[in-house]
Structure 1
Amino acid sequence: MPKLSFLDLVPVTDRGTIAQSLAHAADLARHAEALGFHRYWVAEHHGMAGIASAATAVVLAHIGHATSTIRIGAGGIMLPNHAPMVIAEQFGTLEALFPGRIDLGLGRAPGSDGIVARALRRNLASDERQFPQDVVELQAFLAGDDRLGIRAVPGEGTKVPLWILGSSLFGAQLAAALGLPYAFASHFAPDALDEALDLYRRQFKPSEQLAEPYSAAAFNVFAADTREEAELIATSQQQAFVALRTGNPGRMKPPVAGYKDSLPPNARAILDHVLQCSAIGTVDDVAAGIDAFARRTGVDEVIVASSVYDHDARKHSLALTAQAAQVSARVG
Structure 2
Amino acid sequence: MSFPIVRHRRLRQSAAIRGMVRETVLTVDDFIQPIFVAHGSGIKNEISSMPGVYHFSLDTLEEEVKEIVDLGIPAVLLFGIPETKDSVGSSAFDEEGIVQQATRKIKALYPDLLVVADTCLCEFTDHGHCGMVHTFERDGHVCGDVLNDESLDLLVRTAVSQAKAGADIIAPSNMMDGFVQAIRAGLDEAGFSHIPIMSYSVKYASAFYGPFREAADSAPQFGDRKTYQMDPANVREALREAESDVLEGADMLMVKPALAFMDVLRLLRDQFDLPLVAYNVSGEYSMVKAASERGWINERAIVTEMLLGMKRAGADIIITYFAKDAARWLREGK
Q: TM-score range by the shorter chain?
A: 0.5 to 0.7
The one-letter amino acid paired with 2:58 is L
More helix by share: 1
Q: Normalization by structure 2: what TM-score? A: 0.52
Kindly state the Cα deviation for residue 215 of structure 1 after the two structures are TM-superposed: 0.8
The one-letter amino acid paired with 1:215 is L
Kindly state the Cα deviation for residue 83 of structure 1 after the two structures are TM-superposed: 2.1
**Counterpart contact for 2:37–2:56, Cα < 8 Å:** no
Pair 1:69-2:101 in alignment: no
**Counterpart contact for 1:6–1:40, Cα < 8 Å:** yes
Q: 1:280 to 1:77 in 2, by over 3 A?
A: farther
Q: C-alpha offsets along residues 204-232 of structure 1, whole Å, 9 cap, x if unaligned?
A: 3xxxxxxx3101112369xxxxxxxx999
Q: 1:202 to 1:20 in 2, by over 3 A?
A: closer
Distance in structure 2 (CA, Å) of the matches to 1:102 and 1:302? 17
Distance in structure 2 (CA, Å) of the matches to 1:136 and 1:15? 35
Pair 1:183-2:188 in alignment: no
Counterpart secondary structure, 1:73: strand
Quote the residue 2:14 is aligned against: none
Kindly state the Cα deviation for residue 90 of structure 1 after the two structures are TM-superposed: 0.8
Quote the residue 2:265 is aligned against: 197
Selected match of 1:234 from 289, 297, 303: 289
Distance in structure 1 (CA, Å) of the matches to 2:327 and 2:47? 29
Counterpart secondary structure, 2:31: strand
Distance in structure 2 (CA, Å) of the matches to 1:232 and 1:105? 25
Pair 1:138-2:165 in alignment: no
Kindly state the Cα deviation for residue 72 of structure 1 after the two structures are TM-superposed: 0.6
The one-letter amino acid paired with 2:161 is Q
Q: C-alpha offsets along residues 140-195 of structure 1, whole Å, 9 cap, x if unaligned?
A: 22223xxxxxxxxxx324431111114232653433433530122326xx43x234
The one-letter amino acid paired with 1:63 is I
Kindly state the Cα deviation for residue 57 of structure 1 after the two structures are TM-superposed: 2.7
Counterpart secondary structure, 1:196: helix
Kindly state the Cα deviation for residue 137 of structure 1 after the two structures are TM-superposed: 2.3
Q: 1:176 to 1:45 in 2, by over 3 A?
A: farther
* Structure 2 portions without partners, runs of 5+: 1-25, 39-43, 49-53, 86-90, 122-129, 132-150, 205-237
The one-letter amino acid paired with 2:114 is R
Counterpart secondary structure, 1:156: coil
Distance in structure 1 (CA, Å) of the matches to 2:254 and 2:104? 22
**Counterpart contact for 1:6–1:39, Cα < 8 Å:** yes
Counterpart secondary structure, 2:268: helix
Q: How does 1:142-221 map to 2 (within 5 A)?
A: 142-144=187-189, 155-165=190-200, 166-168=202-204, 169=238, 171-178=241-248, 179-186=250-257, 190-191=259-260, 193-204=261-272, 212-219=273-280
Distance in structure 1 (CA, Å) of the matches to 2:257 and 2:287? 22
Q: 1:20 to 1:103 in 2, by over 3 A?
A: closer
Larger gyration radius, structure 1 or structure 2: 2
Size of the aligned set, in residue pairs, is: 223
Distance in structure 1 (CA, Å) of the matches to 2:266 and 2:287? 35
The one-letter amino acid paired with 2:116 is G
Quote the residue 1:291 is aligned against: 308
Counterpart secondary structure, 2:45: coil
Q: 1:162 to 1:281 in 2, by over 3 A?
A: same
Distance in structure 2 (CA, Å) of the matches to 1:28 and 1:8? 9
- Percent identity over the alignment is 11
Q: 1:140 to 1:77 in 2, by over 3 A?
A: same
Pair 1:102-2:157 in alignment: no
Quote the residue 1:30 is aligned against: 66
Quote the residue 1:5 is aligned against: 32
Q: 1:20 to 1:74 in 2, by over 3 A?
A: closer
Counterpart secondary structure, 1:13: strand
**Counterpart contact for 2:119–2:158, Cα < 8 Å:** no
**Counterpart contact for 1:164–1:174, Cα < 8 Å:** no
Kindly state the Cα deviation for residue 84 of structure 1 after the two structures are TM-superposed: 4.4
Kindly state the Cα deviation for residue 234 of structure 1 after the two structures are TM-superposed: 3.0
